[in-house]
């Protein structure tokens, strides 16, 4: 599954949110992900994030407030995704958000890494029986194991993503090695949540066997938003999807290196046979400096067998560039 996260890139505009759905529908992604914030339910006056955030918002709380949509607006977005044959995914940050998303029939719940230990919220999500994608950004293996054990008492389909909580992440933070560790430890569908701001990390994750890919998208990386620097553009999304599909096709199509029968014609066409590089008289004893290799590979002694002719005597006069065959030597 390839998931394009709009997150908050819509900047509080319902029109922009719908525009993202239309634009991403033609890129090859399988799903679109939003974030469902209900400011009063998830935040308090004691939260350190309640700081001056932008020229438009007095605080981060005001920003999250501006990111809210009404239940009917969320329903419109969910229906739009269904119309475009895209899965509708969202990350809830409060129980109120879970209840809203369950009511509009969200396809999957994505659990942000900050909510991994929020077992009350996870309890409510578990009761929905909806599939869950669990991010590992700020979690240790022990914390993940604890949460996965907690979630397994429900019937929800469960998957886990390697993620590094840094915006943007740089190559030495990607943690590609963790993909294999997560697969082996938890035996769950395993993927990669990317915040690098380019396509290379997800492509590398595909080569490491990731099955789920999540990344932030924006129309333009210069637009305002907390995730813009860690996002890719719509055009890059199309390129990334193509790359992921091709890498996965390659991984599921192992090549047998010893199966060279289909190359026999080409090997003859591009192979080389021994020839002489000068006129040589009958009775001449062949030395290395007399030899050239010429296409095709079926006209004389094979080039790889040149040692067999060194020191041999020519039985006929040879012209420059004549192929050398076993009939010409003794």
Cis omega (within 30 of 0) for bond into 282: no
pLDDT at residue 50, rounded to an integer: 61
Which residues does residue 135 pair with via DSSP β-bridges, in sequence order? 161
Count CB neighbours of 291 within 10 A.
Answer: 18
Per-residue pLDDT of the chain (330 residues; tens, 9 = 90+): 999 999 999 999 999 999 999 999 999 999 999 999 998 998 877 776 666 767 888 888 888 888 899 999 999 999 999 999 999 999 999 999 999 999 999 999 999 988 999 999 999 999 999 999 999 988 899 999 999 999 999 999 999 999 998 889 999 999 999 999 999 999 999 999 999 999 999 999 999 999 999 999 999 998 888 889 999 999 999 999 999 999 999 999 988 888 888 888 888 899 999 999 999 999 999 999 999 999 999 998 999 999 999 999 999 999 999 999 999 999
Cis omega (within 30 of 0) for bond into 148: no
Give the Cα separation of 88 and 106 in Å (integer): 6
pLDDT at residue 135, rounded to an integer: 93
- Give residue for tokens 């907390």: 226
Enumerate the CATH 3.20.20.70 domain ranges in the chain, comma separated.
Answer: 2-251
- Give residue for tokens 């996870």: 122
Q: Which residues contact 218 (CB under 8 A, 6 or more apart)?
A: 9, 225, 227, 228, 231, 232, 233
Q: Which residues contact 83 (CB under 8 A, 6 or more apart)?
A: none
CATH number of 261-328: 3.90.1210.10
pLDDT at residue 49, rounded to an integer: 63
CATH number of 2-251: 3.20.20.70
Tokens of 48: 């350190």
Tokens of 284: 């001449």
- pTM tops 0.95: no
Enumerate the CATH 3.90.1210.10 domain ranges in the chain, comma separated.
Answer: 261-328
């Amino acid at each position: 599954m390839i998931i394009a996260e709009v997150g908050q890139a819509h900047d509080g505009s319902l029109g922009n949110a719908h525009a993202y759905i239309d634009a991403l529908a033609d890129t090859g992604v399988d799903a679109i992900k939003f974030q469902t914030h209900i400011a009063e339910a998830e935040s308090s006056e004691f939260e350190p994030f309640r700081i001056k955030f932008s020229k438009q918002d007095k605080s981060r709380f005001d920003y999250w407030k501006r990111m809210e949509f009404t239940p009917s607006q969320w329903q419109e977005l969910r229906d739009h995704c269904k119309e475009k044959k895209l899965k509708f995914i969202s990350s809830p940050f409060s129980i109120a958000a879970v209840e809203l998303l369950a009511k509009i029939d969200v396809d999957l719940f994505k659990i942000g890494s900050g909510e991994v230990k929020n077992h009350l919220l996870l309890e409510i999500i578990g009761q929905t029986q909806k599939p869950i994608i669990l991010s590992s950004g700020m979690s240790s293996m022990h914390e993940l194991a604890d949460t996965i054990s907690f979630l397994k008492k429900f019937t929800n389909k469960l998957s886990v993503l390697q993620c590094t909580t840094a915006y943007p992440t740089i190559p030495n933070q990607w943690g590609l090695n963790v993909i294999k560790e997560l697969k082996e430890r938890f035996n769950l569908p395993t993927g990669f949540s990317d915040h690098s701001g380019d396509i290379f990390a997800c492509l590398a994750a595909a080569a490491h066997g990731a099955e789920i890919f999540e990344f932030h998208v924006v129309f333009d990386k210069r637009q305002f938003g907390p995730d813009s620097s860690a996002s890719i553009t719509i055009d890059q999304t199309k390129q990334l999807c193509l790359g992921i599909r091709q890498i996965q096709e390659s991984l599921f199509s192992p090549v047998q290196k010893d199966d060279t029968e289909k190359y026999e014609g080409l090997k003859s066409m591009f192979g080389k046979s021994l020839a002489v590089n000068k006129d040589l008289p009958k009775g001449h004893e062949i030395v290395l400096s007399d030899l050239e290799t010429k296409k095709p590979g079926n006209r004389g002694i094979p080039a790889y067998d040149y040692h067999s002719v060194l020191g041999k005597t020519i039985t006929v006069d040879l012209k420059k560039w004549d192929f050398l065959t076993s009939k010409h030597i003794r």
